[in-house]
Amino acid sequence: MSTAVKSKNTRAVLAKRTDSAKQHLSDAELLRLFYFMRLTREFEESIITLYRQGKIIGGAFSGNGNEATAVGSAFCLKKEDYLFPMHRDLGAHLVKGQTVRNLMLQHLGRANSPARGRDGTGHYADASLRIYGNISHLAAMIPVATGVALASKLRNERSVVMTYIGDGGSSVGDFHESLAMCSVMKLPLVLIVENNQFAYSTPITKQFIVERISDRAIGYGIPGFTIDGTDINEVVAVCAQAVDRARRGEGPTLIESVTMRMHGHSVNDGAEYVPKKLLDEWKKKDPLMKIEKLLMDKKILTPAIRSDFEKKISAELQEAVNDALESSYPPAEDAASEVYAE
């Protein structure tokens, strides 16, 4: 499905590079990708359960259907690269090195969480891992990521900055202003648009009239690709090319990942506005189902390996949940500390 916006020749080159990248993923790498995708979904299922039990305050979000995009894109980054994930990119946090324990503490708002209990979900930063989590005004992350990309270039770090936005957020001015700046200054930014069909309850048919969001890239003179966001091979192939291009100093790339938000905007959103037929169609494209079939067809995933993965994930999640539930909330007198500059 991967498509470039420039020309038929460009599309042919991309298809060739995609096939090449697919061949270069080792059995071990494919198993690692599968593990992170499975861990991501199981973690989020745990979060939904805890939320419904009243053990999580505030909102809870699910990236169900987005695992291949989050995991596959971050898989292309190096330790020195910067990650600015959104609320449906929990898999990217895990791939970049964040622990299940820290993420569970964060979601449950405990004092020993990365945000020290001041916020939940992905609203945190971990400078040691170069992860800078989302804020609620999602498009406002892109200018910040652009600034980090500029700083990286000025320091000759050769570091790449990867950030994400939804289909709705791609219509906000921050998106366009950042791409204009990044393109003219050739900044090392990879911007992934997660086109999951709905901006909250607004379908994409009421958001834009271009055939693809990636069609906008040509206006900035940069490459734009539309990929199947449920296909881990395609995600890794195209994101790897974009990351390599940014690292070479050739500027930003816009990638539209077409997925489906299989749950509502948040756990308390029943998503009644989504046609059942549409959801049924996308259930057949489940990214976990697709990678598992790929691994089984290649005889890489054996029953023993799958059983080991399930036991490891279950044990890790249970330990993280227990640890978080036993941890304390922050004391009330600490509420304003480190919120404002001294």
Domain CATH number, residue 27: 3.40.50.970
State pLDDT tens for residues 65-77. Answer: 999 999 999 999 9
Percent of the chain with pLDDT over 90: 82
Mean pLDDT, range 253-264, rounded to an integer: 95
Give the residue, 70 or 58, on which the prediction is more confident: 70
Is 70 inside any structural domain?
yes
> Structurally, how many domains does the chain consist of?
1
Tokens of 180: 């204009």
Q: In this structure, what are the phi and psi dihedrals at residue 156, rounded to the nearest 5 degrees?
A: 55, 40
Determine the pLDDT at residue 59. Answer: 85
Q: Judge whether 334 lies within some domain.
A: no
The pLDDT of residue 9: 38
Mean pLDDT value of segment 217-234: 97
Q: Tell me which residue range forms the domain holding 83.
A: 20-326
Element (H, E) at 190: strand 189-195
Q: What is the pLDDT of residue 318?
A: 98
The reply to whether 294 falls in a domain is yes
Task: Report DSSP state, residue 308.
Answer: H
Q: Tokens 């292309």, residue?
A: 76
pLDDT tens, position by position, 264-301? 999 988 999 999 999 999 999 999 999 999 999 999 99
Please give the single-letter amino acid code of residue 302: T
Count of Cβ atoms closer than 10 Å to residue 117 Cβ = 21
For 43, residues 6+ apart whose C-beta sits below 8 A from its C-beta are: 90, 94, 100, 103, 104, 317
Q: Is residue 1 part of a domain?
A: no
- Check whether 139 has a pLDDT greater than 70: yes
pLDDT of 11 reads: 40
Does 10 map to a domain?
Answer: no
Q: Of 121, 185, 135, give the one whose Cα is nearest residue 163.
A: 135
70-96: pLDDT as tens digits: 999 999 999 999 999 999 999 999 999
Instruction: Identify the CA nearest to 163 among candidates 114, 261, 64, 92.
Output: 92
Measured distance CA(290)–CA(75) in Å, rounded: 18
Assign 1 a pLDDT band (cuts: 50, 70, 90). low
pTM score over 0.85: yes
* Residues 138, 87: Cα–Cα separation, whole Å: 9
Residue 9: Cβ within 10 Å count: 9
pLDDT classification of 12: cutoffs 50, 70, 90 = very low
pLDDT reported for residue 2: 59
pLDDT at 3: 56
3-state secondary structure (DSSP) of residue 79 = coil
Q: Is 306 helix (H, G, I), strand (E, B) or coil?
A: helix
pLDDT, tens digit, 9 for 90 and up, residues 309-341:
999 999 999 999 999 999 999 998 887 887 787
Q: Which residue type sits at 323?
A: D
Strand residues in 46-139 grouped as ranges (E):
82-84, 125-126, 131-132
Mean per-residue pLDDT over the chain, rounded: 92
The answer to the question of residue 91 being in a domain is yes
Residue 286 domain-assigned (yes or no): yes
d(C-alpha 13, C-alpha 21), whole Å: 12
Strand spans (E) along 207-290: 224-228, 253-258
CA distance 257 to 278: 17
Tell me whether residue 185 is in a domain. yes
Confidence (pLDDT) at 20: 45
Give the pLDDT of residue 336.
80
Q: Residue 13 belongs to what H/E stretch?
A: helix 8-24
Residue pointed to by tokens 């057949």: 284
